[in-house]
Structure 1
Amino acid sequence: MTRLSGITPSGHAHVGNYLGAIRRWAREGAQGDLYFVSDLHAMTTAYHPQRLRARARELLATLIASGIEPNQVFVQSDLIREIGALTWLLECTCAYGEAARMTQFKEKSGTDGKIAARVGLLTYPVLMAADILLQGADEVPVGDDQEQHVELARALARRFNSTHGEVFTVPRAVTPRAAARVRDLADPTRKMDKSATDAAGVIFVLDEPDMVRRKIKRAVTDGLERLEYRPDDQPGLANLLEILAACLGKSPREVADGYPSYDSLKDAVAEALIEELRPIRTGTLSLLADIDHLDKIRAEGAIRARERGQHRLESALRLAGVG
Structure 2
Amino acid sequence: MSELSQPTPEEINAKFTPRIFSGIQPSGNLTLGNYLGALKRFAEKQDEGIETIYCLVDLHAITVWQDPEALKKQTREAAAAFIASGIDPARSVLFNQSQVSAHAELGWLLNCVARMGWMNRMTQWKDKAGKNAEKQSLGLFAYPSLMAADILLYHATMVPVGEDQKQHVELCRDIAAKFNHDYGVDFFPAPLPLIEGVATRVMSLRDGSKKMSKSDPSDASRINLTDDADTIAKKFRKAVTDPEPLPDSLEGLEGRAEARNLVNIYAALADKTPAEVVADYAGQGFGVFKPALADLAVSKLEPISTEMSRLMNDPAEIDRILGQGAEKADAIAQPILQKTLEIMGMIRSR
**Same fold, TM-score > 0.5, yes or no:** yes
Show the counterpart of 1:84: 104
Give the whole-Å Cα distance in 2 for the aligned partners of 1:179 and 1:249: 9
Show the counterpart of 2:338: 314
Show the counterpart of 1:163: 182
The 3-state SS of whatever aligns with 1:3 is strand
Show the counterpart of 1:298: 322
Show the counterpart of 2:60: 41
- Per-residue deviation, residues 93-133 of structure 1 (Å, max 9, x unmatched): 222112112222122222x4577322112101100011011
Report how many aligned residue pairs link the two structures: 320
Shift of 1:167: 7.4
Show the counterpart of 1:5: 22
Q: 1:191 aligns with which of 211, 224, 233?
A: 211
Q: Is the aligned partner of 1:141 residue 2:163?
A: no
Give me the TM-score of the superposition, normalised by structure 1. 0.90
Show the counterpart of 2:34: 17
Shift of 1:2: 0.6
Give the whole-Å Cα distance in 2 for the aligned partners of 1:50 and 1:231: 45
Give the whole-Å Cα distance in 1 for the aligned partners of 2:71 and 2:108: 24
Shift of 1:307: 1.0
State whether residues 167 and 315 of structure 1, in contact with CA within 8 Å, keep that contact through their aligned partners in structure 2: no
State whether residues 83 and 130 of structure 1, in contact with CA within 8 Å, keep that contact through their aligned partners in structure 2: yes
State whether residues 212 and 222 of structure 2, in contact with CA within 8 Å, keep that contact through their aligned partners in structure 1: yes
Shift of 1:251: 3.1
Give the whole-Å Cα distance in 1 for the aligned partners of 2:254 and 2:227: 29
Q: 1:100 aligns with which of 101, 120, 141?
A: 120
Give the whole-Å Cα distance in 1 for the aligned partners of 2:128 and 2:63: 10
Distance 1:220 1:168, change over 3 A: same
State whether residues 29 and 214 of structure 2, in contact with CA within 8 Å, keep that contact through their aligned partners in structure 1: yes
Show the counterpart of 1:270: 294
Give me the TM-score of the superposition, normalised by structure 2. 0.84
State whether residues 198 and 264 of structure 2, in contact with CA within 8 Å, keep that contact through their aligned partners in structure 1: no
- Per-residue deviation, residues 77-106 of structure 1 (Å, max 9, x unmatched): 212x22111111111122211211222212
State whether residues 136 and 169 of structure 1, in contact with CA within 8 Å, keep that contact through their aligned partners in structure 2: yes
Deviates more, 1:187-196 or 1:36-45: 36-45
The 3-state SS of whatever aligns with 1:284 is helix
- Point out where structure 1 has 5 or more consecutive residues left out of the alignment: none
Distance 1:304 1:95, change over 3 A: same
Deviates more, 1:296-305 or 1:250-259: 250-259
Distance 1:250 1:156, change over 3 A: closer
State whether residues 140 and 171 of structure 1, in contact with CA within 8 Å, keep that contact through their aligned partners in structure 2: no
Shift of 1:40: 1.9
Shift of 1:298: 0.7
Q: 2:194 aligns with which of 163, 168, 175?
A: 175
The 3-state SS of whatever aligns with 2:51 is coil
Q: 1:213 aligns with which of 208, 213, 233?
A: 233
Q: 2:277 aligns with which of 250, 255, 258?
A: 255
The 3-state SS of whatever aligns with 2:192 is strand
- Point out where structure 2 has 5 or more consecutive residues left out of the alignment: 1-17
CA RMSD of aligned residues (A): 2.2
- Per-residue deviation, residues 183-235 of structure 1 (Å, max 9, x unmatched): 1001111111123233221101110111112211221112x232235443322
